[in-house]
A and B are shown apart, each in its own frame.
Chain A
Amino acid sequence: MPEISGYAFPNDITVWWSLMIVMYPYITGFVAGAFIVTSLYHLFGRQEFRPIARLAMATSFAFLLVAALPLQLHLGHPERGPSVMVTPNFTSAMAGFGILYSGYLVVLMLEIWFVWRQEIIARARRSRGVARGFYKLLALYTYDTSPEAIEIDHRAITVLAGIGLPMACMLHGYVGFIFGAIKANPWWSTPLMPVIFLMSAAVSGIALLIVLYQVVAKLTRHPSDQPCVSALARWLWFFLIITLTLELLEIIVMAYEKSEPWHIVSELLTTRLEFSYLSMQMIVGGLIPLILLAIVVMLNRYLHDRVRNTLSTAAALLCLLQVFSMRWNIVIGGQLLSKSLRGLRSPYEPEIFGREGVLAALALLIVPFVILWVFDRLLGIRVAPNGGERPPRPEPEGAASAAAE
């Protein structure tokens, strides 16, 4: 039984939205953030992101494939989950999930197809048997690699990135809207919520890619492209500043206005969420990476490669923690306070096993990397320093996948 301090409505003492609902925005945050990075190259033509453009796109896709799972694991009736697409009630932000998710999935799959099309055709030509049939199907039985076709591909990629970017942002922004539009819960109800979610999604996506890039560079024994790393660090710093500003702004305005909920929200933040909000979200996850990234960005030209990599990766890991604790503080924190505004319940401890437990959450985080590995085996993700868009060369199978891992 949870302990209540003060008074909570009798039905108010259960935390309905569990760890899985913390994982869902965390994962869609990666989807949106990684897509922002890949669009910086494919849509806005920022050449410094060329080395990781494909890695970012594949990462967005890998996380997108598992994005629906935390929701299904949470539902009281997962078998009725598809009802959201059959009879959506469009006054509900949650009903948008079906359209946004499937729409963005289609756009991303198309864009991946166009980006990897030449590789698919090359593999179709190289392979035999079942694999050959698979690649031919994937190529949709067209094998045009002429310069005109490639030009059309590039234009299609740009258009799709242009459509996909707002869709990815909406796929994550609507989650913020789900919380922000609940007038019943004063910790959630703010118009800033979708923006905060989206900015912190960018933070998590860029941070993930920084870490992933370093890992991939180590695995393939290729040095990571330093202009790319410093560009990533610069954008991470930028989005981190915006995110922290917005998160602080929300608190500051609430505290200044001293409207009815502030006394209970401040008690929530200083008692139940003291560790996860003050220590983790603001200081360890906020202030420290802010300083580390400031060093990386402002002292960029004085830094040795290894220092830059280390500082960026450390800052990125802390940012990943920050974004997770931010999701936790909003989702779980909002349910620790009763709608009576007179009581708080004891902190929520997720179960270890069980479908909404810690192990399930960890599995959800690991599966996308498995998907990435499969993606690399099937299509190859090039992160070579001098560009990811080289036309396919007739290399033997083994060396190609080893180089691309």
Chain B
Amino acid sequence: MEATKMQPGAETAGAGAATGDRSAGGGSRREFLGDAIRLSGGALVFLAGSSASGSTEPAPKTKAEAYNWEEHSYAYLIDTQKCIGCGSCVRACRAENAVPDGFYRTWVERYAVGMEGSHVDSPEGGMDGFPPLAVGFTVTKSFFVPKMCNHCKATPCIQVCPVGASYRTKDGVVMVDGERCIGCAYCVQACPYGSRFLNPSTHTAEKCTWCYHRITKGLRPACVEVCPTGTRQFGDMKREDDPVRQAIEHERVEILQAHLLTEPRCYYLHLDKEVR
């Protein structure tokens, strides 16, 4: 019952301050509120803006030669006519990047195509080569197609990452920041090429990085390094005499799933209509 006794008194006092005595009671309260709001608003803008504005120095360069990503724009060329399906690339990638079992940063597919049908297989990504194949139709052509992340220019995967963990560097490599990735797997769903997966140990998204730790030191990706037939080639579009650039500029090249307009940077020579 004390509540009801106090209430009328409190109410009239408040009401009196608000309506009757604007200059002293209501006015000073209003001024205080106004000042408080202005002050906190300014603090908000300052603090929220300063972290995002990049007032800090970029990370120091790693090597003495100070790799400059503005000087490169990488591309990858695959000539499917040369691939023999040995799987050395898959094994080399696995060794180079500690790829977890059951997942593949790069893999090789075999296509056996005839007039009545087509058959595709990729036993363990082609890691141990391919076994003999018997299909129920007459095979008129068969070939291997190596695949990996296409490092697209208009990626669907970066578009859907909710926290900005997936990104594309200025030299054209798409990578995942393992520290920020929350493991939601949205990018895995969004990639039309099936090149992403969640690492079962780190629970973050992972995929081919074109061996960024090698190419920034002037080496080639491990898969290109070991390929015995020259199927896989790695190049820099910013170098005039680069053979990959020459091929892309002057020969007929294809890309995977062109209708999706992802602008991949992996180009294929002699691709077949059966390949998706």
Contacts and interface: CB of A to CB of B under 8 A. Distances in A.
Direct contact of A and B (CB under 8 A): yes
Interface stretch (B69-77, B159-167, B215-223, B224-232): B159-167
B139 interface: no
Interface string A164-195: 00000000000000100011110000000000
B84 interface: no
Contacts of B4: 125
A342 B185 CA distance: 22
Interface stretch (A55-63, A72-80, A294-302): A72-80
The interface centre, meaning the residue of A12, A76, A86, A132 with most chain B CB atoms within 10 A of its CB, is A76
Interface stretch (B35-43, B176-184, B236-244, B264-272): B176-184
Contacts of A132: 3
Given A74-B184, A144-B11, A340-B194, A7 B120 contact: yes
B15 to A, nearest CB: 9
A11 B197 contact: yes
A217 B158 CA distance: 51
Nearest to A124: B3
Interface in B139-176: 147, 156, 158-164
A370 to B, nearest CB: 28
B162 A11 contact: no
Given A14-B197, A77-B203, A182-B156, A7 B122 contact: yes
Contact of B163 (A71, A87, A178): A87
Nearest to A83: B163
Contact of B192 (A16, A76, A339): A339
A341 interface: yes
A184 B190 CA distance: 6
A81 interface: yes
A95 B163 contact: yes
B162 A16 contact: no
A55 B190 CA distance: 39
Interface in B1-41: 3-4, 7, 10-11
Contacts of A75: 182-184
A184 B182 contact: no
Contacts of A86: 163
A125 B11 CA distance: 15
Contacts of B119: 7
A339 B193 contact: yes
Interface in B90-104: 103-104
A341 B276 contact: yes
Given A76-B203, A340-B120, A89 B162 contact: yes
B180 A80 contact: yes
Contacts of B193: 9, 339
Interface in A84-143: 84, 86-89, 91-95, 97, 124-125, 132, 143
A88 B161 CA distance: 9
Nearest to A339: B194
A10 B122 contact: yes
Interface residues of A, number: 44
Interface in A3-38: 7, 9-12, 14, 16-17
A261 to B, nearest CB: 11
* Interface size grouping (class) on chain B: 35 or more
A125 B186 CA distance: 51
B204 interface: yes
B162 A92 contact: yes
Contacts of B196: 11
A110 to B, nearest CB: 19
B124 A10 contact: yes
A94 B194 contact: no
B273 to A, nearest CB: 12
Contact of A185 (B161, B181, B189): B189
Contact of B104 (A10, A74, A338, A341): A10
A244 to B, nearest CB: 26
B156 A76 contact: no
A145 to B, nearest CB: 9
B182 A16 contact: no
Contacts of A17: 185, 189
Contacts of B182: 75-78, 80-81, 83-84
A91 B160 CA distance: 6
A343 to B, nearest CB: 8
B121 interface: yes
Given A10-B107, A184-B189, A340-B120, A95 B162 contact: yes
Nearest to B206: A11
A84 B104 CA distance: 28
B125 interface: yes
B186 A10 contact: no
B211 interface: no
A132 B103 CA distance: 59
Contact of A76 (B104, B161, B183): B183
Contacts of B147: 9
Contact of B194 (A11, A71, A80, A92): A11
B248 interface: no
B195 interface: yes
B188 interface: yes
Contact of B161 (A78, A89, A182, A342): A89
B255 interface: no
A92 B159 contact: yes
A342 B110 CA distance: 13
Interface of B: 3-4, 7, 10-11, 103-104, 107, 109, 119-122, 124-125, 147, 156, 158-164, 180-186, 188-198, 202-204, 260, 276
Given A16-B198, A182-B160, A340-B276, 15 more contacts: A10-B107, A11-B197, A16-B185, A17-B189, A75-B184, A76-B202, A80-B183, A84-B182, A87-B180, A89-B161, A89-B163, A91-B158, A94-B160, A184-B260, A339-B193
The 5 closest A-B pairs by CB, nearest first: A76-B183, A76-B203, A9-B194, A184-B192, A94-B162
23 contacts: A7-B109, A9-B194, A10-B124, A12-B194, A75-B184, A77-B181, A77-B204, A80-B180, A83-B163, A87-B163, A87-B180, A88-B162, A89-B162, A91-B159, A95-B162, A143-B10, A182-B160, A184-B190, A184-B191, A184-B260, A339-B192, A339-B276, A342-B120
